[in-house]
Amino acid sequence: MRCIIKRRAEFSACYRYWLPELSPKENQQNFALKNREIVRGHNYVLYISIAGELDKYGMVLNFSGLKQVVKREVTDQLDGSIINEVWAEFQATPPATENLARVIWQRLVPNLPIVNIQLFENPKVWAEYEGNEMEAYITVANSFSAAHRLALDVLSLEENLEIYGKCGRPNGHGHNYHLEVTIKGQINSQTGTIVDFVALEKVVEELAVEPLDHTFLNKDIPYFAKVVPTAENIAAYIGYILLEPIRELGAELHKIKLSETPNNYCELYAADLGESSMESHSRAYVKTKDIGCALRASQYI
């Protein structure tokens, strides 16, 4: 029987984003730093996913042995260090989080059957790497507060309450939404990054978070005058908004994760948005008004 196990590890390390072949202005543009003397650091959290068949002892791998490999190859070397100075891979290329995840994979894979590396530089930013040459993933997390009401305008109050429960009450209710936007792309061999991270954060903040924050979605966002603002539909809306701006940054939107509460969240992969647009999604919703109420309602349960 095949199984996946995970090992969590931590290390604290500093780094410098600076390429000597670039001018100060070019370094500032690439890394949003003012000068080459700036050294930054993180308390990194590392998750290593291992896949394999269960042995006769009921294990994929002995966790004690796994721990020792991770300590020897990664955490003992990096903890309390300046990464550029202790790992040769980063003497000419900055240790951006996605690039650091890739190099950790390379150092561990001769010893372990790894299937995924997840590296958090802080709770709002993390990278993933799965061994696919220079392809990696970066996730940025953000939050916004908004109110909504779940109801189909073609149904009565009683019918909406039957479908949506308390969420269908006439005056709506609110959530503190937690948003995670994951992009994928090729790591630039010179900069070590997938995209300009400051630009990515700006796109997510200005296009997705700020316009939705402290709104009544049904009334303040025209799209949700036609589309019921379930978590799933909000995630799709954000996906449609971010698809092209992220492409313009040189990457691809991979996934949207939206949490309404700690107990309820949805994940939507950009591939499932297909080539349709936000407008076509809205039209598809309006078209459902032409069929029976029971079927219409079932689309949004």
Q: Which residues are catalytic?
A: 167, 214, 260
Mode of pairing for the β-strands spanning 40-53 and 2-15: antiparallel
Cβ partners under 8 Å of residue 258, min gap 6: 177, 178, 179, 180, 231, 234, 235, 238, 265, 266, 268
DSSP string, 112-148: S-EEEEEEEEETTEEEEE-SSTTEEEEEEEEEEEEEE
Q: Which long-range contacts (CB under 8 A, 24 or more apart) does 121-125 make?
A: 121/42, 121/44, 121/97, 122/42, 122/43, 125/97, 125/197
In DSSP terms, 140 is beta-bridged to: 125, 181
Cβ partners under 8 Å of residue 17, min gap 6: 27, 30, 31, 33, 40, 94, 96
Task: Specify the length of the chain in residues.
Answer: 301
In DSSP terms, 128 is beta-bridged to: 118, 137
Cα distance between residue 192 and residue 90, in whole Å: 9
